[in-house]
Amino acid sequence: MPLTGPGTANHADFRRADKDTGIKMLAATLVLSALLLFFGVRDDGTGPLSKLRWGFQTVTAPVRYVGGLVGRPVDALSNVIANLTADQETLAELKQLNLHLTARNAELEEEAASAARFEALLELKSTYNLESTGARVISSSSDTWADTITIDKGSSSGIAVGMPVTDSQAVIGQVIECSASTSTVRLLTDENSSVSAMVQSSRAQGILRGSADGTLRLALIRADQTVKSGDTVITSGLGGAFPKGLLLGRVVSAERAAGSLYYDVVVEQYASVESFEEVLVITAIHNDQQASAEDIAEADKQDSEGISSADDAQKTESEGGASETVEVSDTPSDEITYGAVEFSDGSDDTEEGE
C-alpha cells in the first residue's frame, strides 16, 4: 500500500520545481550565449560588449600581475627541486657519455693529425718522384753509443740496409739493421753518420757528419770555396745511396781558423727529431736522381785540389792559430771515397753505403 501524506507530496513538488528551474537556466544560458555571439559578431570594437570586456580586463589586471609575480618564484623553485631530485642513475649515464665523447674527440683529432702528416710525406714523395714506402716510428734510442729510431717495417716489406729515410721535410737518416718486421735507422746526428752533401748555392761539396753531442758539421769544405750562414745544405747524390737534392739542413756558422785548409761548418738539421712519428723509406733511386757526370768531375777536382793543398801544408807548420788535422786518402779519385756514406750493420765491421 503506497504511502501518502503531506510530506510525500511536498517532496514530489520540490523535485518537479527543481527540474523546471534547471530547464529554465539552460534555456536562459542558451539564449544569452546566442545574444552574445550575435552582438559579438556585429561588434566593431566600439560596442557595449567591447567596453565591457575592456573594463573587466582593466579591473582584473592588477590581480593578474600580482598572480604572475607570485607564480614565477614558485615555478623557479619547482625547477630547482626537480633538478636536485633528478635520477642519480641518469646523471651517472650523462657523465659516462661525456667521458666517451671527450675520448672520441681526442681520438678523431689524433687521426686527423696523423692523416695530415702522411699527406705531407706523400707530397714529398711526389715532389722528388721517389720510390718509397711509409712507416711508423715505434721507438727511439739516444744515448752515448747511438742515436737511432726503430720503424715498424722490415725486410718482409722490402726494406734493406742502406736505404735513406726522410720525414715530411728532409732526410733524417739511413737504415742500418733489418729484421723481418722492424728496421733500425741511424739518425744524421749519430756520431757514426756521414752523408755526401753540398751547399746548394755554391755547389761546394763535402760530407755531413754527426757527432757525440748531436751537432752536425759539413766537413771538407775548403777555404777557397764559398759557404756562409743561412746556406741550404742538400744531398749531393754521390755514391748513389741518397737521391740528389734532398734537404739536409741549414748552415748556422762557417768559420776558418788561421792556417786551416777547411772551414768548420755547423749545420742545423731541417727535420725535427722530436716530431718523428711517420717516416718515408726510399726503396729505389732512379738514374736521374744520382749525381751527374759534372758533379762527379767537380768532386774529383775538389778531391785532387784538397790533396795538393794538404801536401803543401805538410811541408810547413802553421803559426799563430789552431789547425785541423785532415786525413788524406791515397785512393784514386775515380773510386770517390770522398763521398762515401758509412753505416754499420750491427757488427764491428764497417760497410760503405754509397
pLDDT band for position 149 (50/70/90)? Answer: very high
Give the three-state DSSP class for 64: helix
**Longest CA–CA separation in the chain, Å:** 164
Pick 133-347's CATH classification: 2.40.70.10, 2.40.10.340, 2.30.110.10, 3.30.70.20. 2.40.10.340
Task: Flag whether pLDDT at 350 surpasses 90.
Answer: no
Report d(CA 24, CA 27) in Å as an integer.
5
User: Residue 198 in contact with residue 233, Cβ under 8 Å?
Assistant: yes
Across the chain, mean pLDDT equals 77
pLDDT digits (tens, 9 = 90+) for 162-198: 999 999 999 999 999 999 999 999 999 999 999 999 9
pLDDT digits (tens, 9 = 90+) for 106-137: 888 888 877 778 788 888 888 889 999 999 99
Strand 278-284 and strand 164-166: the pairing is: antiparallel
pLDDT digits (tens, 9 = 90+) for 334-348: 333 323 333 333 334
Please, is 259 exposed, middle or buried when counting C-beta atoms within 10 Å of its C-beta (0-12, 13-18, 19+)? middle
Indicate the domain borders of the chain.
Answer: 133-347
User: Residue 264 in contact with residue 217, Cβ under 8 Å?
Assistant: yes
The confidence score (pLDDT) of residue 335 equals 33
pLDDT digits (tens, 9 = 90+) for 9-28: 555 665 666 667 777 777 77
User: Residue 248 in contact with residue 269, Cβ under 8 Å?
Assistant: yes
For 223, residues 6+ apart whose C-beta sits below 8 A from its C-beta are 256, 260, 261, 262, 263
pTM score, whole prediction: 0.60
